Amino acid sequence: MKYYILFGPPGAGKGTQAGAVSEKYNLKHISTGDLLRAEIAAGTELGKKAKDIMAAGNLVPDRVVEDMIEKVFDDNKDVAGFLLDGFPRTLGQAGDLDEMLSRRGEKVNAVISIMISDDTIQSRLMHRASIEGRADDANPETIKNRIVTYHKQTKPLIDYYRKDGKYYEVDGENGDISDVRKRMFSVFKGVDTKFAGREVVIDEALLDRVQKLAHEPPRLRMNYDLRNTEEDQSQRMLNVMLPGTRTAIHKHNMSSETIMLLRGKMDTVLYNDDGSEKERIHMGGDSGVIGVNIPTGQWHTFEVYELAIIFMAQDGPWSPLSKENMLKASY
Ligand code: AMP
C-alpha cells in the first residue's frame, strides 16, 4: 500500500489536483476537511464539536482527525494506496501517522507539496468563498488565522519530511490548473519509479503497476529504477516496452548488458558496424530464450511485438547515449 501526502497551504489547489492524481494511480483520496464538513452537514456530535473550531480557522483536536483517517484506511483494502489531503497538519499528527502506519507495517512514501504565496492564498480563498460558500473562506479574519495556523503549525512539517528525503515541491502559483497537474504527474511518476528497490518485493502486482505507466506515447516504454539510492553505481531496472516503441541501435562501451525477459515477447537484434543485421534473437513465446548477455561495444536494439517487461542490469551509472554510441537515429 502506498501512502502519499498532498501538502500545501489552504487554497493551493490540493482538492482540485487530488481527483486526477488519485484516479491515475488508483489512490483513495482522503480530505480531512471534506470529512469534517460531511460530519457538520449530517449534524453528528463530532460535527457539532468541529463546527465552531473550523469557522474560526483553528485546528480540530488531533485525535478526532486521526480516528477518521484510520477508519478510511480500514475501510479501503482494495486500493493501491491513499492520497492524504489536509492531514497531517501538525508535527504531532505527523508522528502519530508514522506510528499508525508502522503498526500496519507501512510508511509514508512521499510528500508532494503545492506551493503558493500568502497573497495568493488570500485571493484564492476569497474567490472560492464566492463559488462554494465555505464559511471559513469568506471572512478575512478567519483567512488570516488560517494563514497564521499554516505557518505556525503546518509548515514545520516540510523539514520533518525533507530530512527523510520524502519531500517534493510543485509550483502551484504559475500557469493554470492543467499546468500544475502536469507538474504533479511528473513528480508522481518520478516518485513512483525512482529507487523503487526500497520496495524489496518484485511481484506481479508491481509489474502490473509499472506496465500501466508505460502507456504514454510517444515513448511507449518506461524504466523502473531498482536501485536504493543515487549512490548505487549500477544500472538495475525493470523496463516495460509496448509494441511500437523504437529504441535506437546503440552500444555501451563501458559495460556489457544483461537482460532477462519477465513478461511478453520480443527480439534482441545485434548489428555489424556497417548497420547490417548480424543476429536476431527471439525471446519469449516458444523460443526457449529468457535472457541475453550483450557484449560490451555490441550494436543492438530491441523490437517488441507484444508488451514486454525485462529486467536489465549494467555496470556503471546511467548516462544519455552519445551520438557516437548510436548507429541509427533515436526515437
Ligand atoms: P481544509 O478543507 O483542509 O482547508 O480544512 C478545513 C478545516 O478543517 C481546517 O481549517 C481545520 O479547522 C479542519 N481540519 C482539516 N484537517 C485537519 C487536521 N488534519 N487537523 C486539524 N484540523 C483539521
| Helix (H), strand (E) counts: the chain | 11, 11
Percent of the chain with pLDDT over 90: 63
d(CA 140, CA 22): 32
**Atom of ligand 1 at shortest distance to CA of 54?**
12
Report residue 269 as a C-alpha cell. 537484434
User: Catalytic residue numbers?
Assistant: 14, 89, 128, 134, 146
Topology of domain 2-191 in CATH is: Rossmann fold (3.40.50)
16-26 burial, b if ≥16 CB within 10 A, otherwise e?
ebbeebbeebe
Answer whether 60 contacts ligand 1 (Cβ < 6 A): yes
CB distance 251 to ligand 1 below 6 Å:
no
Q: Would you state the pLDDT for residue 255?
A: 93
Q: What is the pLDDT of residue 331?
A: 40
Compute the distance from residue 214 Cα to the ligand 1 centre, in Å: 36
Domains in the chain: boundaries:
2-191, 204-330
May I ask the CATH class of domain 204-330?
A: mainly beta
What is the Å distance from ligand 1's center to 37 Cα?
Answer: 9
> Could you read off the pLDDT of 137-170 as tens digits, one per residue?
888 899 999 999 999 999 999 999 988 778 889 9
C-alpha 15, offset from chain centre: 17
Our CA angle for 114, 27, 166, nearest 5°, is 45
Cβ atoms of 116 and 11 closer than 8 Å: yes
Q: Is 238 in the pocket of ligand 1 (CB under 6 A)?
A: no
pTM of the model: 0.65
* Ligand 1 atom nearest 14 alpha carbon: 3
Average pLDDT in the chain: 89
Q: How far is the CA of 33 from the centre of ligand 1 (A)?
A: 5
H, E, C per residue of 97-158? HHHHHHHCCCCCCEEEEEECCHHHHHHHHHHHHHHHCCHHHHCHHHHHHHHHHHHHHHCCHH
pLDDT digits (tens, 9 = 90+) for 39-91: 999 999 999 999 999 999 999 999 999 999 999 999 998 888 999 999 999 99
- Measured from the Cα of 93, ligand 1's closest atom is 19
* Closest CA to ligand 1's atom 8: 33
Assign 226 to helix, strand or coil.
Answer: coil
C-alpha of residue 54 to centroid of ligand 1, in Å: 7
Residues whose CB falls within 8 Å of the CB of residue 302, separated by 6 or more in sequence, listed in order: 241, 247, 266, 267, 268, 269, 308
